């Protein structure tokens, strides 16, 4: 595993732990589809949450959330649709897309949780 991949896995694990501490429940991690990958899938009450984790050492270029552009959002929506097709028990639950913007020291990042960061029809 490359250093960047290891750092990414560590940051995603930290984001997962952060969200668990906020009361969410884990459903899946690193769900891969031909359209893209869902970093985390979690439940917030009865809402299924697709979480994109973005890490930037600094916000000098807009931070991690700013890097979730229209192309990335489209890929996330397609991957979420594939997840819902594969996991029919979630077909009728409300869904949302969140972004966890991680910054600073990758060993102990600061997390900024952006709930409902974008909509499927954005």
Indicate the domain borders of the chain: 3-118
Mean of pLDDT over the chain: 90
> Which CATH number fits the domain 3-118, given the four candidates 3.30.300.30, 3.40.605.10, 3.40.1350.10, 3.40.50.300?
3.40.1350.10
| pTM attached to this predicted model | 0.91
Radius of gyration of the chain (CA): 14
**Residue 27: which residues within 8 A CB-CB, separation 6 or more?**
41, 42, 43, 48, 90
User: How many Å apart are CA 74 and CA 89, to the nearest integer?
Assistant: 23
Alpha helical stretches, state H, the chain: 3-21, 63-66, 70-86
Chain segment 61-101, per-residue pLDDT in tens:
566 667 789 999 999 999 999 999 999 999 999 999 999 99
């Amino acid at each position: 595993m490359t250093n960047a991949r290891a750092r990414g896995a560590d940051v995603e694990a930290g984001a997962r732990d952060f969200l668990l501490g906020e009361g969410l429940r884990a459903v899946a991690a690193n769900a891969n589809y031909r359209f893209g990958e869902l970093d985390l899938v979690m439940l917030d009450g009865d809402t299924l949450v697709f979480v994109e984790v973005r890490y930037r050492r600094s916000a000098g270029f807009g931070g991690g959330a700013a890097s979730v552009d229209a192309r990335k959002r489209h890929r996330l929506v397609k991957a979420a649709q594939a997840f819902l097709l594969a996991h029919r028990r979630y077909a009728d639950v409300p869904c949302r897309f969140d972004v966890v913007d991680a910054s600073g020291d990758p060993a102990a990042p600061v997390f900024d949780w952006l709930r409902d960061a974008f909509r499927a029809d954005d």
